[in-house]
């Protein structure tokens, strides 16, 4: 769906997420959310915080799994996705700390593989992702699944694409300070979500949005795999829709 602005689109996405949470609440079940970082979801989180404060939306029954984290990365670093999620969402809502999961950028190299296997298992044990929120990188990545990522990839360590590193430079002062690697859920992990919402705002995303929607499915643009998902919504503004 194309919305006149990021603001309108973000409110729609927040409503969808809140609906999943309240429907689960009514059944006495947990809602399992897959969450994203980056600039794209900030207004979505802002609206969820507003709904919490003004409308009593509770996150007591919410379990979250974030898509990715840089590696290596300390959680208290300004660029960490742990810091981002605390600042932009978790510190402002009533979620239980033990229900928050974010890939760990502080692991030793040899701890990464077992951690990733355990992350997959935790998602399964929680009942699977009810809804996954996604942004899109200009390489066509979802999470940090860069070109070359396969349909059935799972949570793992990846190397970042040079374009992703240059896009991230604004957060790290200098390009050479951007970590070369990250831990990310796989395409396969994301595809198992029962519902997916991908958001993109602004003209800068127009070329990759066009490829994701109109090009044939290929590892060269991992976001094209979403074309195969049975319940995906792409929510963008007029500018990001500019090349469709
Ligand atoms: C980041 C994240 C992705 C995000 C993408 C776009 O590096 N790892 O999950 O979707 O790149 O970022 P932004 O929303 O800032 O454009």
Question: Tell me, what's the ipTM?
Answer: 0.92
Instruction: For 126-175, write each residue's pLDDT tens digit.
Output: 999 999 999 999 999 999 999 999 999 999 999 999 999 999 999 999 99
* 221-225: long-range pairs with CB below 8 Å, 24+: 221/140, 221/147, 222/140, 222/141, 222/142, 222/145, 222/146, 222/147, 222/149, 222/187, 223/136, 223/140, 223/141, 223/142, 223/198, 224/140, 225/142, 225/151, 225/187, 225/191
Q: Could you tell me the pTM of the whole model?
A: 0.97
7, 22, 36, 77, 159 from 221: Cα distances, Å: 27, 34, 18, 30, 16
> Residue 77 Cα, ligand 1 centroid: separation in angstroms?
17
- What percentage of the chain carries pLDDT values higher than 90? 100
**Mean pLDDT within 207-219:** 98
| Token representation of residue 1 | 């769906």
Crossing angle between the packed helical segments 42-55 and 81-88, to the nearest 10 degrees: 40
Q: Of ligand 1's atoms, which has the minimum distance to the CA of residue 36?
A: 9
Cα 123 from Cα 174, distance rounded (Å): 35
* Closest listed residue to residue 221, CA positions, set 236, 210, 211, 231: 211
Residues in CB range of 98: below 8 A, 6 or more apart: none
Q: What is the DSSP letter of 178?
A: S
**Residue entry with tokens 């195969």:** 228
Residue pair 108/61 in contact (Cβ under 8 Å)? The answer is no
Cα 79 from Cα 172, distance rounded (Å): 7
- Domains of the chain with bracketed CATH: 2-237 (3.40.50.1360)
Residue 105 CB less than 6 A away from ligand 1: no
- What percentage of the chain carries pLDDT values higher than 70? 100
Q: What pLDDT does residue 218 have?
A: 98
Alpha carbon nearest to ligand 1 atom 9, residue:
143
Q: What pLDDT does residue 244 have?
A: 95
**Mean pLDDT within 207-213:** 98
Hey, which of 141, 149, 175 would you mutate to test ligand 1's pocket, going by the most ligand atoms within 8 Å of its Cβ? 141
Instruction: For 110-124, write each residue's pLDDT tens digit.
Output: 999 999 999 999 999
**Mean pLDDT within 199-228:** 98
Residue 103 CB less than 6 A away from ligand 1: no
> Residue 146 Cα, ligand 1 centroid: separation in angstroms?
11
Report the 3 state secondary structure along 103-140: CCCCCCHHHHHHHHHHHHHHHHHCCCCCEEEECCCCCC
* Closest listed residue to residue 115, CA positions, set 104, 125, 126: 104
> Residue 38 Cα, ligand 1 centroid: separation in angstroms?
4
**Mean pLDDT within 193-218:** 98
Cα 103 from Cα 130, distance rounded (Å): 19
24, 58, 114 from 160: Cα distances, Å: 36, 36, 21
Alpha carbon nearest to ligand 1 atom 5, residue:
137
The overall average pLDDT reported for the chain is: 98
**Mean pLDDT within 36-43:** 98
Q: What pLDDT does residue 132 have?
A: 99
Q: What pLDDT does residue 209 have?
A: 98
**Mean pLDDT within 32-46:** 98
Residue 212 CB less than 6 A away from ligand 1: no
Residue 190 CB less than 6 A away from ligand 1: no
DSSP 3-state assignment of 93? coil
Residue 186 CB less than 6 A away from ligand 1: no
Q: What pLDDT does residue 35 have?
A: 99
| Bridge partners, 221 (sequence order) | 218
Q: Of ligand 1's atoms, which has the minimum distance to the CA of residue 205?
A: 16
Crossing angle between the packed helical segments 42-55 and 6-26, to the nearest 10 degrees: 50
Residue 38 CB less than 6 A away from ligand 1: yes
Q: What pLDDT does residue 69 have?
A: 98
């Amino acid at each position: 769906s194309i919305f006149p602005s990021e603001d309108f689109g973000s409110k729609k996405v927040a409503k969808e997420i809140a609906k999943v949470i309240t429907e689960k609440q009514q059944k006495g079940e947990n809602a399992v959310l897959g969450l994203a970082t980056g600039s794209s979801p900030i207004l979505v989180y802002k609206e969820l915080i507003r709904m919490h404060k003004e409308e009593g939306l509770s996150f007591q029954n919410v379990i979250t799994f974030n898509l990715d984290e840089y590696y290596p990365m300390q959680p208290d670093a300004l660029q960490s996705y742990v810091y981002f999620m605390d600042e932009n969402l978790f510190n402002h809502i009533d979620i239980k700390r033990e229900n928050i999961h974010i890939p760990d950028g502080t692991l030793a190299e040899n701890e990464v593989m077992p951690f990733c296997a355990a992350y997959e298992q935790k998602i399964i044990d929680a009942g699977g992702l009810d809804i996954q929120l996604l942004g899109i990188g200009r390489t066509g990545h979802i999470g940090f699944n860069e070109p070359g990522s396969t349909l059935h990839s799972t949570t793992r360590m990846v190397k970042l694409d040079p374009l992703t590193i240059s896009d991230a430079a604004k957060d790290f002062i200098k390009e050479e300070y951007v970590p070369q690697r990250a831990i990310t859920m796989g395409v396969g992990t994301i595809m198992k979500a029962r519902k997916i919402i991908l958001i993109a705002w602004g003209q800068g995303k127009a070329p990759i949005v066009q490829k994701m929607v109109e090009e044939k499915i290929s590892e060269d643009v991992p976001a094209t795999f979403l074309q195969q998902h049975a319940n995906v919504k792409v929510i963008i503004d007029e500018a990001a829709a500019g090349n469709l």
